[in-house]
Every structure is written in structure tokens, then in C-alpha cells.
A and B are shown apart, each in its own frame.
Chain A
């Protein structure tokens, strides 16, 4: 059964880099039928998808425009995990951060994307 184990600091100083890791068990970060996502949740912004990485003969990364200039999501095949780096953080980046597996459902010519397995979440506070 797939599990996602999140790790990383809960406190980051303003202007520094937020770094989180999501370790995968029961699936592979290189799976050609999955994508690996980061989502965050805060009272002010609700649930916000940040980006994903996936492998289809080569690696692809996609990011939300709102964070694209500050965000990097990297797979680590040697450790079967993926990471989030968010640069130049401010108090607006204070949130609970989740990693999640994404899958596609192929039906009637369409590919329907959903996130079916989530990590437990990491509360990250940006404060000096």
C-alpha cells in the first residue's frame, strides 16, 4: 500500500528557502502512470496546488504561475522521493504543505487527473 512520508523544517525565516521532502513507499517516483504533487493550505488562500513532477521517458515539471518563479520540484530516484523548494519566502507562505500522488483516469477519450494519496502534511511557519 502506498504511503507518502513528509519531512522538513517547520520554521523558516523570511527571505530564506523552504525545503520539504516526500518519501514514497509502495510506488515509484519514476512510475509512468503517476505524478508527484505539492499542495499547500492556509486560512487565507485555501487549498493551493503548487506543482508536480512526473516521468514519461523524460522528466516533466509543471508549476502554478503564482509560484513558478520561486519553486522547484525535483525527483530523487536513488531515494524514491521528491522535494519542494520555495525561495524567498514571506509570511504569505505560512501554510500546511502536502505532497500527493496524482493519477490519470482514461475514459471516453479524456484523461481525468486526480490526487488519490496524500502525505500527512507539514506545518511551515515563516517567521524571524
Chain B
């Protein structure tokens, strides 16, 4: 199975901050990488697919980049509703695997 490792595991940030979350795959996955946001008690919500394509309805302050083994999710200006846990997920090979999550907390 492809292992997905996110860093950091958690971070504290203020409204308006630029936030960057990193995801590393245990082998090259080209750009078969998705990002999800999850709030407590809710299902994950798709933000980004194919490493950099913004899902319909997702604010443009979210962006994704990377290819191969290293990927980044950036929130350009953190908003109150963005405090949540973020997960990467590879869709390169079965089984689709997720990172362990990055919790974004209020500073």
C-alpha cells in the first residue's frame, strides 16, 4: 500500500494567515492526489482533486500543488470556517489511502 504522510499533524493560525500543509507519498503518484476538509462530526468534504483542480463550490483561497511524491495544500487567507482537519488521499493505486490528517486550530 502507498503510505501518505502529512505534516504538520496540527498547527495554530490566526484568521487572515496563509497556511500550508504538506503531504508526502511513499512512492511517486504523479498527480493522483486529492485533498479533503473534515469538521467535527461531519463527513470529509472534497476540496481539491488531481493535485490542483478546485472542486466546484470550493472557495478560491484553497489551492493545491505538487507532483510525484510531494504535495501542498495552501489556504491563502484563513477564514473562521476553515478551522478543521485536512486530509490528503492518493488515487494512484488500490487501495486508495489517506494521510493521517492535519488539524488547523485557532491561535
Name A residues whose Cβ lies closer than 8 Å to a Cβ of B: 46-49, 62, 64-66, 98, 100, 105, 107, 110, 112-116, 118-121
Contact = CB atoms under 8 A, between A and B. Distances in A.
Nearest to A68: B95
Nearest to B45: A118
Interface in B6-27: none
Could you say which interface size class chain B belongs to?
A: 20 to 34
A98 B43 contact: yes
A62 B95 CA distance: 9
Interface string B25-55: 0000011101000000011111001100101
Interface of B: 1, 30-32, 34, 42-46, 49-50, 53, 55, 87, 89, 91, 94-101
A105 B31 CA distance: 12
A49 B44 CA distance: 13
B97 A119 contact: no
Contacts of A105: 49-50, 53
A46 B45 contact: no
A95 to B, nearest CB: 13
9 contacts: A46-B98, A47-B87, A48-B98, A64-B94, A64-B95, A112-B31, A112-B53, A112-B91, A119-B43
A115 B55 CA distance: 11
A121 B39 CA distance: 13
